[in-house]
């Protein structure tokens, strides 16, 4: 992995790369990164949400629980998966699989790629906000290591719902933000055409977030983006997964792991008055 870009790329250009429909999906990673993947279905409450896929996975002798957003490959699949925007059922399924991972002493690997949680009426009626909040609570207290990797879009609470990690990585051309550039532009300037300016101001690229301490590492991509050479992109993510799971296995466990995760999250956004810009 690398920690600094070879050259500065405009944030809006990175947004286009992150959203490219040719980027590998969760199912691509599951089938081509893992030597074995056994998918598990359903939240045991309402339904099986196709926008979040998860199950037992293995790379060599390293076993883990793989969970992630599934945007879909074909047009039909993208529509069925709501372009990776999960319902509450998806987050409850993720919670169930994370608790199962904890029970069997397996680390969790979460691959994040969503524009956000699904904003439909049914999703809200079934408790979208509560489901995401509960997922955050589950991950915060999970007594097994969590590795989160933003592989494309990391949009708002929809992304954060499976991204509370002991280590959080981003692909070089991924984005991670509380709101989309278009949404930000429409709120601040009431003009969606200002999305490129919003993208720069939001600091949503991997190098910016690495500098701010939001993410712990950057996974390199093939020239032109992950969609230009999916096989190489998947191989690079596989290498990052193995490297970081080894690091996490050498770290604290149980209650000490939960405490370390808490301290890591509490340290984000800490205000240092000595570094504040004076007016």
Nearest to residue 120, comparing CAs of 154, 153, 85, 155? 85
Which pTM does this prediction carry? 0.91
Q: What is the pLDDT of residues 56-115, one digit of tens each?
A: 999 999 999 999 999 998 899 999 999 999 999 999 999 999 999 999 999 999 999 999
Question: Does 2 score more than 50 pLDDT?
Answer: no
Which single residue is written with the structure tokens 């980027």?
A: 23
Q: What is the pLDDT of residue 73?
A: 87
Tell me, which fold does domain 11-262 have in CATH? 2-enoyl-CoA Hydratase; Chain A, domain 1 (3.90.226)
Look at residue 279 and tell me whether its pLDDT is greater than 90.
Answer: no
**pLDDT, mean of residues 122-133:** 92
Q: What burial letters (b/e) apply to 28-45, b meaning 16+ CB within 10 Å?
A: bbbebbbeebeeeeebee
Ramachandran bin of 84, using left for φ above 0, alpha for ψ from -120 to 50, beta for the remaining angles: left
**pLDDT class of 33 with cuts at 50, 70, 90:** very high
CA distance 219 to 222: 10
The domain segmentation of the chain, as residue ranges, is: 11-262
């Amino acid at each position: 992995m690398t920690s600094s870009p070879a050259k500065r790329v405009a944030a809006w250009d990175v947004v286009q790369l992150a959203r490219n429909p040719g980027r590998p999906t969760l199912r691509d990673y599951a089938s081509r990164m893992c030597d074995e993947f056994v998918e598990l279905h359903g939240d045991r409450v309402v339904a099986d949400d196709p926008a979040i896929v998860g199950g037992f996975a293995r790379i060599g002798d390293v076993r883990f629980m793989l969970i992630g957003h599934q945007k879909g490959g074909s047009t039909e699949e993208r529509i069925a998966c709501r372009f990776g925007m999960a319902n509450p059922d998806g987050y409850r399924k993720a919670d169930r699989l994370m608790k199962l991972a904890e029970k069997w002493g397996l680390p969790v690997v979460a691959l994040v790629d969503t524009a956000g949680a699904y904003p439909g009426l049914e999703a809200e009626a079934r408790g979208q906000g509560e489901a995401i909040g509960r997922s955050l609570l589950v991950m915060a207290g999970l007594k097994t290591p969590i590795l989160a990797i933003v592989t494309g879009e990391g949009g708002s609470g929809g992304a954060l719902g499976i991204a509370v990690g002991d280590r959080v990585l981003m692909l070089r051309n991924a984005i991670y933000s509380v709101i989309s550039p278009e949404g930000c532009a429409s709120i601040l300037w009431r003009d969606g055409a200002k999305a490129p300016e919003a993208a720069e101001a939001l600091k949503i690229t991997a190098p910016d977030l690495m500098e701010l301490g939001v993410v712990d590492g950057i996974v390199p991509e093939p020239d032109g983006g992950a969609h230009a050479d999916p096989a190489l992109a998947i191989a690079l993510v596989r290498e990052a997964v193995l490297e970081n799971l080894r690091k996490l296995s050498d770290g604290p466990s149980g209650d000490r792991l939960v405490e370390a995760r808490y301290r890591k999250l509490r340290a984000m956004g800490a205000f240092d008055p000595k570094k504040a810009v004076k007016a």
